[in-house]
Structure 1
Amino acid sequence: MSFQQYDFIIVGGGSAGCALAARLSADPANRVLVLEAGRPDYLWDVLIHMPAALTMPIGNRLYDWKYESEPEPFMNGRRIYHARGKVLGGSSSINGMIFQRGNPLDYERWGADPGMKTWDYAHCLPYFKKMENCLADRDDARGGAADRPRGGAADRHFRGHDGPLELERGPVTNPLFGAFFEAVQQAGYPLTDDVNGHRQEGFAAFDRNLRRGRRLSAARAYLHPVLERPNLEVRTRAFVTRVLFEGRRATGVEYARGRGGELERVHGGRVILCGGAINSPQLLQLSGVGNADELSALGVEPVHHLPGVGENLQDHLEVYVQHGCKQPVSLQPQLKLWRRPFIGARWLFLRSGPGASNHFEGGGFIRSNEDVDYPNLMFHFLPVAVRYDGSAPAGGHGYQVHIGPMYSDARGSVKIRSRDPRVHPALRFNYLSTEQDRREWVEAIRVTRDILGQPAFAEFSDGEISPGPAVETDEQILDWVRRDGETALHPSCTCRMGTDEMSVVDPASMQVHGVEGLHVVDASAMPYVTNGNIYAPVMMLAEKAADLLLGNTPLEPDHTEFYRHRKTV
């Protein structure tokens, strides 16, 4: 059923948009419309539902917006490719399926900013718990009990058990994972029961957004179970071109529908932008909300001068430290083209085998120096040597660690370059632009080499493939990062919450400062990127924002104590 007037128009059927659609439409009195520019997430689409196929949608125009940065001045002028989901479920339909909340001290940092006290960890923890279903034990994949919370006793107070996001713990049965976990301990780092629990610092099997061998995207977890609601409508291939205003009140949106691109308008009481850290600031700027001088120079009539729109861009850069493996235990044979039909058939009919895992099954978080209060490095271990997008696999058996600093002080921007909404905005991340960033990169590589050089890997390692033994000095390491670094696909913070003049979103209502009826709920609203994959923080933010938008009493803060490296007085 189509309404003439909606209570909520959600622009973007990605991670946050799906969660909001489910929560806002739970009240039958609310008429909710979701406009998603991408295609439906068809149930038969193996490329987005088979976990091991995660590399295939990346770079494919049918699933990926295929963004690219401007020449990065501190990365040898390279343009850094950025995949973003162009399908219902957004990037949760094409990401690596790793579920990491970030460190509790990330949210203490959020809450310390002016006006942000209700976004500290105690206020965010109840929403993490609300969205999670962690009933499965960590040993589920090995046939363990399925009715016990995971992790140690302390972690059970941190995890949710009734939410829509079912989480599977990585089985980490490959012997290379065993060597990795032994090596980190030999290097002096701890194991932890649960990186999303009481203590993030350390190494463990990872939580993953999988359900019985199938990707569990935000669309599959939140949206599809409620699609039959008569007050909820979802339109795919609906490309929103601008927000409509009467004065400074948002009254609806204009969008191009289908392949023909005919422009249509739809009106609503409130418009919620959920396009992510690139599209949301782009749409605000196209609609006249942003730096008035820059918009006027492009022929966009300003509606409200808000200079913070598109600023404060943050991301995680990463590299792969790769080793050859002298034992035939890696996943390299699964990369052969002739094996794919067999892997696909086993997954399709049995939901098992190599196709049923994302293979990012374990890793961890550590501090690279004593100046930081909580982990600034994240490790993903992969029992094969291959790039994230599936390209340029190293010859023969191998394994690798994905590594990079987690809270760089580099800042970039997203700025439109045309009034045409189909022209991608200019993205500049400024990777490696600060002294802190460069110092922590050198530390990251040296720490990684120390771990991979421990005795636990002696029976497996056939030598370092990348960067290779010729890369040794600090400057050689940085030169390699400039040549080889890739985004970890965590763009964020371009419409940040706050109350100062460079903030964009009111933390108490998620409304854009200076206008009415227009809200932003996605990764762009984060004030600082968290130290991990950002899907879980985005979903938490959406859950909390739903209560703010509905005027519900927020969940009571949960002051359960978490691990701190430095004890507070």
Structure 2
Amino acid sequence: MENGYDFIIIGGGSAGSVVAARLTEDPNIQVLLLEAGGRDRHPFYHLPAGFAKMTKGIGSWGWHTVPQKHMNDRVFRYTQAKVIGGGSAINAQIYTRGNARDYDEWRQLGCEGWGYDDVLPYYRKAEDNDTYDNRYHGKGGPLGVSKPCAPLPICEAYFEAAAKLGIPKNEDVTGETQDGVAYYQLTQKNARRSSAAMAYLAPNKDRSNLHVRTGANVHRIIVESGKATGVELVDGTRLTASAEVILSSGSIGSPRLLQLSGIGPAAELHDLGIDVVLDRPSVGANLQDHLDLYCICEVSGPHTYDRFAKPHLSVLAGLQYIFTRRGPVSSSLFETGGFWYADPEARSPDLQFHLGLGTGIESGVAAMPDGGVTLNSCYLRPRSRGTVRLRSSDPSDEPLIDPNYLQDPQDREMSIRGLRLTQEILAQEPLKPFIKAERLPGPDIKSDEDYFHFICEHSKTSHHPAGTCRMGIDDQAVVDPRLRFNGIDQLRVVDASIMPNVISSNTNAAAIMIGEKASDMIRQDHGSKT
């Protein structure tokens, strides 16, 4: 058994990278960061447009959902990162935070210290924003946050089209108000992806107290006398932590590992032959995710980045990026979007848009042979709740991921409203010079039932899973508001799984904020030791 570490962090993703870097600011603290995936050496991890390769296999475990019983048994590809940096290394780099009301509702649920005014300083602390330095944004932090450097004219036409429907342009949807269409800020620095690993780990790789192991697949957390004392890897190696084990494997990985460790719904674990350490049915429950719907139009000319799919033009795009840091390679391809309302009475925007500057960008999404544009929408506050459970006791088996999409009728209704609104936007006069025709859903989709069947075939995850290790003050909460595990000492969960309710936007920036805030709480809880 290997000793000598104060903290072992399981998962080198968005939150885990932050915690490892922050804790090792104290040279007296020994931190071991374990990442089951590999290093981020491949150039696709660093080029903004590399996102297009990520949902098609690079850097992903290749997992899928169980058949979705409220969507005609559709099975979804469910991309989960398999690389240092986690989701921040393979996502579309969109920097959003949700709505201030999301966090205030967490506080109202009893999670003191998690209101918007409480978390905002941690967002600012993380940022190195290339545009803003004000109440909402900061400069000088580890994480690069930038405006897009390669927008296209069709983006401005999209803003004008939205304005025809009364949707204003918003210069900063992470600022005072979320409402409106916008260029998203991106987790980039100097036209390169700024993943959590690149922002927090790479600059500190020479710290003698920061130990990072990739390809380190954890089988279980070791619990002795009600206390987490270390971990066991799949090869049988045991590693000990004198202060805490910190679980940062994400909303799928964290509940999966807890259950492999005998912590979860006792009856199900017993049936799989796993020794029960703690009966906690709420581990892996409360899964929430945003279901992404899309409208695809064929364009009337070379108005999007689809034209660079041709081999000779892709070479040109690469050269343009090398010499100018501009062009399609510098684009996340989804850097334009915004927030609006499916329900006019909603307390804040309940729809999010992503304008894709091409088609077939993500796995399972149709491509237009002669080029196109994609406008995605997702309903931001789903009522449906799913689960993450084990398929077997074998740690190499993918888990049973059930987002339970559209279980609640309101989710279905609001999702359809969002899809109809994307069609309306793309049909407005300012976009007519760019668009030849709508291809999906197309003119044959008319009734709500038509839309439902279309969604069952043409939709995807927004890659925003949350809530499976829910924070709260009730008996069923998995962690308390300081993210300490309820029922096991010296164990903490730090990632998006702790969200009581998924935030109203992309979740990656929130995971980084959670890592920043947790680092301070860990230091406080351990006094002078950290």
Shared fold per TM-score greater than 0.5: yes
- 1:497 lines up with 2:471 in the alignment: yes
Code of the aligned partner of 2:53:
M
How many Å separate the matches in 2 of 1:253 and 1:23?
Answer: 21
- 1:124 lines up with 2:97 in the alignment: no
Q: CA deviation at 1:352?
A: 3.1
- 1:52 lines up with 2:49 in the alignment: yes
Q: Percent of pairs identical after alignment?
A: 38
Task: Kindly report which structure 2 residues correspond to 1:410-559, keeping only aligned pairs within 5 A, or say none.
Answer: 410-508=384-482, 510-551=483-524
Q: Which residue is 2:77 aligned to?
A: 81
Q: Which residue is 1:146 aligned to?
A: none
Code of the aligned partner of 1:339:
L
Q: CA deviation at 1:391?
A: 5.9
Which has the larger displacement, 387-396 or 263-272? 387-396
Q: Which residue is 1:10 aligned to?
A: 9
Tell me the alpha carbon deviations over residues 443-471 of structure 1, each in whole angstroms, 9 at most, x when there is no partner.
Answer: 11222222112111122221111111100
Code of the aligned partner of 2:176:
H
How many Å separate the matches in 2 of 1:185 and 1:553?
Answer: 52
Code of the aligned partner of 1:119:
W
Tell me the alpha carbon deviations over residues 328-356 of structure 1, each in whole angstroms, 9 at most, x when there is no partner.
Answer: 32222112234333333443455333211
SS of the equivalent of 1:169 reads coil
Contact 2:376 2:422 in 1 (8 A): no
Q: Which residue is 1:193 aligned to?
A: 171
Q: Which residue is 1:223 aligned to?
A: 201
Code of the aligned partner of 2:9:
I
Unaligned runs of 5+ in 2: none
> Which of 147, 164, 167 is the aligned partner of 2:142?
164
Q: Which residue is 1:373 aligned to?
A: 347
> Which of 221, 234, 241 is the aligned partner of 2:219?
241
Code of the aligned partner of 1:65:
W
SS of the equivalent of 1:280 reads helix
Q: CA deviation at 1:263?
A: 2.2
SS of the equivalent of 2:485 reads coil
How many Å separate the matches in 1 of 2:371 and 2:240?
Answer: 56
How many Å separate the matches in 2 of 1:22 and 1:385?
Answer: 38
How many Å separate the matches in 1 of 2:220 and 2:295?
Answer: 43
How many Å separate the matches in 2 of 1:486 and 1:224?
Answer: 32
Unaligned runs of 5+ in 1: 138-148, 151-155, 257-261, 555-569
Contact 1:547 1:553 in 2 (8 A): no
Q: Which residue is 1:327 aligned to?
A: 301
Q: Which residue is 2:258 aligned to?
A: 284
Q: Which residue is 1:29 aligned to?
A: 28
Code of the aligned partner of 1:96:
A
Q: Which residue is 1:265 aligned to?
A: 238
- 1:174 lines up with 2:170 in the alignment: no
- 1:214 lines up with 2:188 in the alignment: no
How many Å separate the matches in 2 of 1:12 and 1:171?
Answer: 31
Q: CA deviation at 1:553?
A: 11
Q: CA deviation at 1:295?
A: 1.2
- TM-score normalised per structure 2: 0.96
Q: Which residue is 2:67 aligned to?
A: 71
Code of the aligned partner of 1:414:
V
Q: 1:485 and 1:218, CA in 2 relative to 1: closer, same or farther beyond 3 A?
A: same
Tell me the alpha carbon deviations over residues 175-194 of structure 1, each in whole angstroms, 9 at most, x when there is no partner.
Answer: 11111000111111111120
RMSD over aligned Cα, in angstroms?
A: 1.8
Contact 2:290 2:462 in 1 (8 A): yes
Contact 1:441 1:478 in 2 (8 A): no
SS of the equivalent of 2:334 reads coil
SS of the equivalent of 1:6 reads strand
- TM-score normalised per structure 1: 0.89
Contact 1:366 1:376 in 2 (8 A): yes
Tell me the alpha carbon deviations over residues 4-37 of structure 1, each in whole angstroms, 9 at most, x when there is no partner.
Answer: 2211100011111100000011011111000111
Q: Which residue is 2:375 aligned to?
A: 401
Tell me the alpha carbon deviations over residues 384-407 of structure 1, each in whole angstroms, 9 at most, x when there is no partner.
Answer: 233423864112132121111011
How many Å separate the matches in 2 of 1:3 and 1:452?
Answer: 59
SS of the equivalent of 2:237 reads strand
Contact 1:172 1:178 in 2 (8 A): no
